[in-house]
Structure 1
Amino acid sequence: MDLNGYKTPAVLVVGAGPVGLVMAAELSRHGIPCRIVDQGEGASSKSKAVSVHARTLEIFESMGVIEEALRRGRRLVGLSWHSGTRRVAHVTFEGMDTPYSFELGIAQGDTEHMLAEHLLRLGIPVERRVRFEGLEQDTDGVTARLRLGDGAQETLRVPWLIACDGARSEVRHALGFPFKGTTYEEQGLHADVRLTWPAHFQAPADQNIFFLGPPGFMAALPLAADGHYRLVFLLRPGDGVSREATLENLQAQAAARGPAGVTVRDPAWIDTFRIHCRMVDRYRSGRVFLAGDAAHVHSPFGGQGISLGIQDAYNLAWKLALVIRGVGRPELLDSYDAERRPLAAETLRSTHTTTLAIRTMSALRHPLGCALRDGAISFITSRPQLKRRAGPALGMLTRNYRGSSLCAEDWPASRGTPGLAAGDRAPDAAPLSRGPRHTLLLFTEGRLVDLAEEVGQRHGDVVEPVLVVPRAERPAALSGTPHRVVLDADRALHRRYGARSECLFLIRPDGYIGYRNLPADRGKLRGYLRRVFLT
């Protein structure tokens, strides 16, 4: 489909939080015209989500906004758990298999401003004070009813609609999707403040800090400016603790739960919140999709909400773009729910378990119980296996789409790289992949150049062939190829991919392995490409 003359948007994105902004930006990067509307006045004035993990930073790199994100945030290299002033556990993010071996502390408002500015550079302004009021859909498209800021009503006809309008999603309500789950009995109190730590407590400025004092749980999450933190308290029913959103109450809670002498001042905002654990049964109804908090909400412990939603958008955008352009098979869109909903369910389970553990641990009062708790936490988190896995798991680097109908392999079981399979995040995907196309890695001494030529001629608009050769210089057989050649003289890339002989890997636009084949077989590759593309 030629979209150059497209006069109306192909997609309406409802909601301009981080998920909606990434969705619109990625659709635009893939050549799809869209509109994005939001009922609010502007970006969030509260920090809300303050943790962006490594996998999402890789996404920001592919979008071209990583430098701005790093400028606006603070690099956090780990997290520490304290009992009083004594550190009982530490998890590091350093040494992970990524250029971004850290968590970025950045207020949600800053993330939204950054993404909105990026979207505007792409020629798409966020339409503010526009409320979604309802929809009807048929086999050809969606009719959305919008209420504009001046009170006028607009009826908009679009082929597709994507709901990124948060936990209270009006689109989800219009679809009649139940939001199944529970609301925890605990209540949260949080604020953006300045903290002054006492001299006897060495607070690392590059780590999230958690306290399990006898009165209850407290978190201090560093923000970009020195001395500024997101302060979070977990309040249990019947604990006699004030719920007042005041500076005096923040100071009282911090003094009781944190190190003696800590001072709280200059709150930018203070609020209470409830904790929910809910998700929908499906992410799609016909031509309408749900993403982010519109589809799933969970406990904030783990800080994975914003990253989970952004990765929803990153997964869906390229698939929908291929279908709209008439290049991708419509079945591509079925894989969005199949790939993303299980990961959301896994996140809900893990954050629920963490929340219950914090509930139990922070309820302890007796010194002996607290000592046993601290010893158990210290022992468990010091285990080498956990220390190796904790950072990548929190960084969302180990999430995969194994078992997806869109991920396949023809690869001998005895010739694989341990831990690597179709559906996994591709090693070193960022420098290997350029732009929004699939990347076909051909590990070869030069004999696969004909396959590169065939794929380039047939699928060049959607697949970029890249020849990876274990040489320091380009072989003569590749001297005339127009395709990119990567020299891998030390075979480091070959080892990463388990390429002991000529083989191929097809990396999807979202950086995951869609297909791998050893030995490289053009017939089997053609068969897989026919499953994805119409041409």
Structure 2
Amino acid sequence: MTRNHIEVLVVGAGPVGLAAAAELRLRGVGVRCVDAAAHHNVTTKALGLQARTLELFERLGIVEAAVARGLPVRRFNILSEQRQIAEFDLGGLDTPYPYLLMLPQHVTEQILRDRLVELGGGVEQAVELIGFTQDADGVDAVLRHANGRREHVRADWLVGTDGAHSLVRHQLGLQFEGGAFREEFATADVRIDWGLPMDELYAFLNRGNFIAYFPMVGGWHRVAIAYNTRRAPQGEVTLAEVQGAIDACGPVGARAVEIGDRSRFVINQRTVQAQSVGRVFLAGDAAHVHSVVGAQGLNIGVQDSFNLAWKLAAVIAGRADPTMLETYAAERRPAAKRIVTGTRRATRMTLLRRPPAVLARRRIAPLVLGRRRVRNTIEHALSQLDISYRNPGASAVVKGTPVTGDRAPDAPLRYHGMASSRAAPVSRLFEIISRDEFSLLMVGEAADVAAGYRHIHAVAENFPTVSEYVVLPGTGAAVDADIAATALADVGNTLRAKYGIDRQAMLLIRPDGYLALRHDEWAPGVLRTGLQQWLQPVRSTLVEEK
């Protein structure tokens, strides 16, 4: 039997599958991305892109295209029985993208598809996975084409991004964990006549009724209506149904005047018992299903793809041991479970019906959610900037600053060169390292470079995918040593402040923007250990470690 070979077979061409395929192609991996649907999606579906997703899109080279076609939304208002109980403002988040970007899913998919094509890949529509088996060396998959032809494919790895009813998950025999939390929703693109701002998100709650308004480009809103399962209508969502939900929840006097894309669906919020088995991985809705509340599901799925793709690419290229792939499930399952838990709690709060509970929500919620610290916690959770892979019990030397496993914050930097950098234009950390695999930032002063750089470099040069940077104080002396690292000036010493660095630090940043290592001195032995957790050296260190 003839079997076509591919390094990675991605099953499903929604945002999660497209992100995985594009990230793998960016790193030179051979990929086939297949989708059972005859045509790509042309409807709104999921809408909001969170700040953390946009940061990852920057690394993929598509964030400008996304921002140009979307609507940034910074304010999120929640009202209970017509009284405001919460107001969140994403504008103060420490990110280049302090907002929720409202971008219809089909537009997001188009941007990802275009990038995949630029990278030499593409999507094969009307190609359905009908079965697979795996052994220690790969996966044998059977694909069915639109004309009925069956194709046998030998893939080194398989990634299932084929949605909540995933065939890949069923073939693996994996079940969702825990009891299902069932929700029924109606969603529709609606043009609304009202007096509220058109660039803010609103959720109106009223004694078991719920409606949320997600603004879109062009004056439309994506409306989401949650139902108690005993009261959910049947059939197509109508303008009259939307108006009924508006009348039941608010705002008073608002009129639904035109309806576009619409759908009705049931969600059982759950996570799968395992996100990988052997050489097969699950990502997105194939691994975890979330409520539409909070615009979390698409984002957590896309982040699955970024987490997995760089690890798969490193293993395929022989730069990392295959055991490193175990960190995918170890990192992503807790993140998904946390999102499911959070959206369940939020949904329960929105659908309270009994008068005592409703009264408590209206009176207590403003007191709790009015606290700046509480709002800040929720805003970071909504934007998914707080997702961390730090070890249990890890704590920062300076409270609120990142440790190993946390997301690496952005900061303004200048290229230092061999002389004064004050005339150089200001750039950003994320921009500078966007094309790197691993980025090693040696934060210190010119004297530290002269005394210790060669020992650090002797370790780092054994790992070819590590890019080296020396980060000097913004007003410090120029580097007068001949070094292989790129010299940067810390504008306003902002990076040092954000990371809580006193004098020295080594920051090793992963391809997905998380800290693989943070250590507050230049220690070659610590760096070697940190790098070997992720990568394989090409040769032994030539300079004695201190």
Both proteins in one fold, TM over 0.5 = yes
The 5 A counterparts of 1:115-514 are 115-197=112-194, 202-214=195-207, 216-226=209-219, 228-239=220-231, 245-360=237-352, 363-364=353-354, 370=358, 372-403=360-391, 415-416=397-398, 418-428=400-410, 430-445=430-445, 446=449, 447-455=451-459, 457-460=461-464, 462-472=465-475, 475-478=478-481, 480-488=482-490, 490-514=492-516
Residues 449, 262 of structure 1: alpha-carbon distance in 2 compared, 3 angstrom cutoff: same
1:108 aligns with 105
Residues 327, 87 of structure 1: alpha-carbon distance in 2 compared, 3 angstrom cutoff: same
Moved more, 237-246 or 21-30: 237-246
CA RMSD of aligned residues (A): 2.2
Task: Give the secondary structure class of the aligned counterpart of 1:190.
Answer: strand
Alpha-carbon deviation of 1:345? 1.0
Counterpart CA distance in 1 for 2:215 and 2:303 is 24
* TM-score, reference length from structure 1: 0.90
Residues 283, 57 of structure 1: alpha-carbon distance in 2 compared, 3 angstrom cutoff: same
Task: Give the secondary structure class of the aligned counterpart of 2:339.
Answer: helix
1:70 aligns with 67
Alpha-carbon deviation of 1:67? 1.1
Residues 503, 242 of structure 1: alpha-carbon distance in 2 compared, 3 angstrom cutoff: closer
Counterpart CA distance in 2 for 1:183 and 1:66 is 35
Counterpart CA distance in 2 for 1:482 and 1:103 is 39
Moved more, 236-245 or 188-197: 236-245
1:534 aligns with 536
Question: Which residue identity is paired with 1:464?
Answer: S
Moved more, 126-135 or 63-72: 63-72
Residues 32, 242 of structure 1: alpha-carbon distance in 2 compared, 3 angstrom cutoff: closer
Residues 317, 414 of structure 1: alpha-carbon distance in 2 compared, 3 angstrom cutoff: closer
Moved more, 114-123 or 305-314: 114-123
Task: Give the secondary structure class of the aligned counterpart of 2:92.
Answer: coil
Task: Give the secondary structure class of the aligned counterpart of 2:152.
Answer: strand
Question: Which residue identity is paired with 1:434?
Answer: S
Which of 3, 11, 22 is the equivalent residue of 1:14?
11
- Do 2:77 and 2:201's aligned partners in 1 also have CA atoms closer than 8 Å? yes
Task: Give the secondary structure class of the aligned counterpart of 1:490.
Answer: helix
Residues 146, 472 of structure 1: alpha-carbon distance in 2 compared, 3 angstrom cutoff: same
Counterpart CA distance in 1 for 2:400 and 2:181 is 40
- Do 1:53 and 1:104's aligned partners in 2 also have CA atoms closer than 8 Å? yes
Moved more, 243-252 or 132-141: 243-252
2:47 aligns with 50
Q: Which runs of 5+ in 1 are unaligned?
A: 1-6
Residues 482, 207 of structure 1: alpha-carbon distance in 2 compared, 3 angstrom cutoff: same
1:203-223 Cα deviation digits (max 9, x unpaired): 122211111134611111111
Counterpart CA distance in 2 for 1:48 and 1:175 is 28
Task: Give the secondary structure class of the aligned counterpart of 2:151.
Answer: strand
- Do 2:463 and 2:536's aligned partners in 1 also have CA atoms closer than 8 Å? no
Residues 326, 374 of structure 1: alpha-carbon distance in 2 compared, 3 angstrom cutoff: same
Counterpart CA distance in 1 for 2:239 and 2:335 is 38
Counterpart CA distance in 2 for 1:259 and 1:519 is 56
1:19-75 Cα deviation digits (max 9, x unpaired): 000000101111211110001133323322111111001011111111111122110
Q: Which runs of 5+ in 2 are unaligned?
A: 411-428, 538-546
Task: Give the secondary structure class of the aligned counterpart of 2:29.
Answer: coil
- Do 1:276 and 1:298's aligned partners in 2 also have CA atoms closer than 8 Å? yes
Counterpart CA distance in 1 for 2:281 and 2:198 is 40
Task: Give the secondary structure class of the aligned counterpart of 1:481.
Answer: coil
1:299-328 Cα deviation digits (max 9, x unpaired): 221210001001101101111111000111
Counterpart CA distance in 2 for 1:171 and 1:196 is 44
Residues 491, 179 of structure 1: alpha-carbon distance in 2 compared, 3 angstrom cutoff: same
Q: Percent identity, please.
A: 35
2:421 aligns with none
- Do 1:452 and 1:483's aligned partners in 2 also have CA atoms closer than 8 Å? no
Alpha-carbon deviation of 1:274? 0.9
Alpha-carbon deviation of 1:448? 3.3
- Do 1:192 and 1:268's aligned partners in 2 also have CA atoms closer than 8 Å? yes
1:3 aligns with none
Alpha-carbon deviation of 1:268? 1.7
- Kindly indicate whether residue 521 of structure 2 is the aligned counterpart of residue 516 of structure 1: no
- Do 1:83 and 1:213's aligned partners in 2 also have CA atoms closer than 8 Å? yes
Counterpart CA distance in 1 for 2:263 and 2:519 is 53
1:451-501 Cα deviation digits (max 9, x unpaired): 4532453223x10011011153662433x3232111126322122222212
1:270-301 Cα deviation digits (max 9, x unpaired): 22211211221111111111111111102221
1:67-122 Cα deviation digits (max 9, x unpaired): 11112211000211124554332111111110111001111111111111111111
Residues 272, 522 of structure 1: alpha-carbon distance in 2 compared, 3 angstrom cutoff: same
1:126-182 Cα deviation digits (max 9, x unpaired): 000000000011111111000011211100001111001110111111111112344
Alpha-carbon deviation of 1:269? 2.5
Task: Give the secondary structure class of the aligned counterpart of 1:487.
Answer: strand
Counterpart CA distance in 2 for 1:396 and 1:207 is 19
- Do 1:83 and 1:211's aligned partners in 2 also have CA atoms closer than 8 Å? yes
2:419 aligns with none
1:492-518 Cα deviation digits (max 9, x unpaired): 212222221222111111111111223
Counterpart CA distance in 2 for 1:240 and 1:435 is 48
2:420 aligns with none
* Number of matched pairs: 512
Counterpart CA distance in 2 for 1:236 and 1:525 is 54
Residues 124, 414 of structure 1: alpha-carbon distance in 2 compared, 3 angstrom cutoff: closer
1:238-278 Cα deviation digits (max 9, x unpaired): 44867752222222222232223322133222222112112
